[in-house]
Chains A and B, each alone.
Chain A
Amino acid sequence: MSWDEEQAGQVVRRALTLAPVPPTGVDVGAVLRAGRRAERRRRRLTVALAAVAVLAVGGGSAVVLDSVHHDRSLPVTGRSPEVLPPPTVVPVTVTLSKDSAPCVYEQFPVPKEVWFPTVQAADPTGRFLVGTAGVSNKATDRDRAYLVLWDQGDPSLFELPKAVRVEPIAVNASGLVVGVRYPGNGKPGLPWAYQDEKLRNLTLPSGYDGGQSSAVNDRGDILGGAYDSARRVGVPVIWPAGNGPPQVLGKPAKYRMFGWTADGTIVGMERDPHAGVKAEQKLRLWRPDGSTAVRTAPADWAPGSPRGEVALRGDWVAGIVPGATVKQRGRPATTAKSPPAVWNVRTGELVVYQGLDTRNHYSVVTDPQGRLLVGVPGGGWRMVERDGTARPVPLPPNAHPEYGPQPVLIDDLGTIYGAVREEPAGQNRPTVWRCP
């Protein structure tokens, strides 16, 4: 009988790799709040001054994340913005269908040298998918981050500069990828653009030390924001196609930029930087003719998508109506229902789909017609028609019940682009669902 430890190790390695692992019950938002509480306790033990500073960070995770995402700014126009009527809420009762949506999925290859690639953006024509992946160098035990670009399903890799995190945000039909990277050490993110194996940093307007790109249009204009970390305010910025200098749209405030509507209107949300986290938010529209408009945002609605960014498709922005956190024995424990809701930025109509619960996850993607793809934690994803009919999206048999799929975009024809996390290996695989 032979006893080869090396080979036995390989058998154990394979067994452990294939070992099914139950889904985690850890909630990132809850961990964040616990981290803040721990930080507060630590500071209280040190100096009272530090404790005062910590109080400024109190509150829910959504509040802090919100403040980060809203660091964009006001438009500069010669005319006062047109004030549009407040939003109208249209409740739609969801009818759950047992029949799956008529979608056929196709999975793209993953380069064999990468592990756990993400898929974070797709262009509206579906030609390009983009994500990131780590490639490990066993000799140096260093992971390097790579941009992964699938062109009609064929992947290619591009090594990214060293950073704590590098995030592609959007890609257009020409393969121009825009994103943000975080250099670490508390420094703010920096916007970048990639095309044809060349990555360039986007020039920041004078006086700003950080920024982020949020969207890119077919022409190659990049929309985003610049950020002044000292004053904690930002401005909306357009980086024109052709590498022109950045154009600042307005005065410093707090903004979250969404993108362009079909007619070229720029859309973002604005909040008074001095009014605190409970300040009323306003939708800002920068129209192609130079006029601007403002509309009060629904007080109990929050925009967002599974990747954290806001996907504007047609005139629709996906989001949820967050459920209130209920405290049990002094701790946040449960939440009320948090239905998905899409807002039409042109008409002001807010469609709330009652009967689905996102459990406060921003698991909503919209298509240009306002149709939704909604993730129900632990229950897969549903395609929700405008009339409220919800059908499950068919998944590959090895899809993780909690984490897959991970849609990023629905194109004009209803094709879904994203990824599926596969059991038991935990590998992410780019996946396209064609839904005629």
Chain B
Amino acid sequence: MRAEDETEYVEYVTARLPVLHRTAYLLCGDAHRADDIVQTTLTKLYRHWRRAAGADHTDAYVRRMLVRTYLDERRGGWARVRLLSEAPDRPAARTPGIEEREAVTDLLAGLPRTQRTVLTLRFACDLTVEEVASLLNCSTGNVKSHTSRGLAALRRRLDLDARTDTRAGR
């Protein structure tokens, strides 16, 4: 890769790392796995940077790579090496907010992977049904179906009945 390309790549990755990590975390629900997914995605992106940078929508291109990496990762096991910014033996701080994090993790944790993926892409990444269908290589009907089932599964956990009732003015 040329130095100019590499500069672009580093700048892009530095700017987008929090967003990519957030998406990966919501997809998989585990911070370390999210790091793995992001790391693998960004390593692939290095190889394909010129194509990604030349795409009409670089963010969408990279998001597609991230989701494909997430969907593919279970096939390959978890023997990958994490590239952390510090030594891995650093103790993970258990902050006061960890219960909240776990609650959010639990929110999606029990869902089948496809439903979780669809809900994350639809509602965390704000993608349309058509965009999600394109990303997952499935029909829009499939996406709608998984969305509906996922929301139904969350119905009790999020107290959606009460919330939607309230919003409806009831």
B39 near A26: Cβ-Cβ < 8 Å = yes
A15 near B107: Cβ-Cβ < 8 Å = yes
Complex CA–CA separation, A265 to B4 (angstroms): 29
Most chain B beta-carbon neighbours within 10 Å: one of A28, A33, A142: A28
Complex CA–CA separation, A7 to B83 (angstroms): 40
Per-residue B-contact encoding for A151-167, CB less than 8 Å = 1, 0 else: 00000000000001101
Report chain A residues within 8 Å CB of B32.
Answer: 25
Report chain B residues within 8 Å CB of A25.
Answer: 31-32, 35, 82, 84-86
CB distance from B124 to the nearest CB of A (A): 4
Interface residue from A36, A164, A421 paired with B58 (Cβ < 8 Å):
A164
Report chain B residues within 8 Å CB of A206.
Answer: none
Choose, from B6-14, B71-79, B135-143, the stretch at the interface.
B6-14
Interface residue from B31, B53, B131 paired with A164 (Cβ < 8 Å):
B53
Report chain A residues within 8 Å CB of B67.
Answer: none
Report chain B residues within 8 Å CB of A421.
Answer: 18
Interface assignment of A42: CB less than 8 Å from any CB of chain B? yes
| Count of residues in A whose CB is under 8 Å from the partner chain | 70
Report chain A residues within 8 Å CB of B15.
Answer: 118
Report chain B residues within 8 Å CB of A116.
Answer: 19
Complex CA–CA separation, A300 to B68 (angstroms): 42
Interface assignment of A80: CB less than 8 Å from any CB of chain B? no
Interface residue from A39, A143, A210 paired with B4 (Cβ < 8 Å):
A210
B4 near A182: Cβ-Cβ < 8 Å = yes
Interface assignment of A8: CB less than 8 Å from any CB of chain B? yes
Q: Decide yes or no: A21 and B22 within 8 Å by CB, A11-B164, A187-B4, A377-B85 being known contacts.
A: yes
Interface residue from A12, A20, A184, A188 paired with B100 (Cβ < 8 Å):
A20
B88 near A426: Cβ-Cβ < 8 Å = no
Report chain B residues within 8 Å CB of A308.
Answer: 11
Q: Decide yes or no: A142 and B56 within 8 Å by CB, A20-B104, A28-B17 being known contacts.
A: yes
A334 near B87: Cβ-Cβ < 8 Å = yes
Report chain B residues within 8 Å CB of A403.
Answer: 18
Q: Decide yes or no: A32 and B6 within 8 Å by CB, A26-B21, A26-B83, A143-B57 being known contacts.
A: yes
A26 near B22: Cβ-Cβ < 8 Å = no
Complex CA–CA separation, A333 to B82 (angstroms): 10
A-B contact pairs, 21 of them (CB 8 A): A7-B168, A10-B167, A11-B158, A11-B160, A12-B123, A12-B160, A19-B124, A21-B101, A24-B18, A24-B34, A26-B39, A30-B85, A31-B42, A31-B83, A32-B10, A35-B45, A39-B46, A141-B60, A164-B53, A184-B8, A331-B83
The chain A residues found within 8 Å of chain B, CB to CB, are: 1-5, 7-13, 15-17, 19-22, 24-36, 38-39, 42, 57, 61, 64-65, 67-68, 71, 116, 118, 141-143, 164-165, 167, 182, 184-189, 210, 229, 232, 308, 328, 331, 333-334, 359, 377, 403, 421, 426
Given contacts A31-B42, A141-B128, A333-B88, 18 further A-B contacts (CB under 8 A): A2-B170, A3-B155, A4-B167, A16-B120, A16-B124, A24-B17, A27-B83, A29-B85, A32-B9, A36-B1, A57-B1, A68-B3, A68-B4, A141-B57, A143-B57, A182-B4, A189-B4, A334-B87
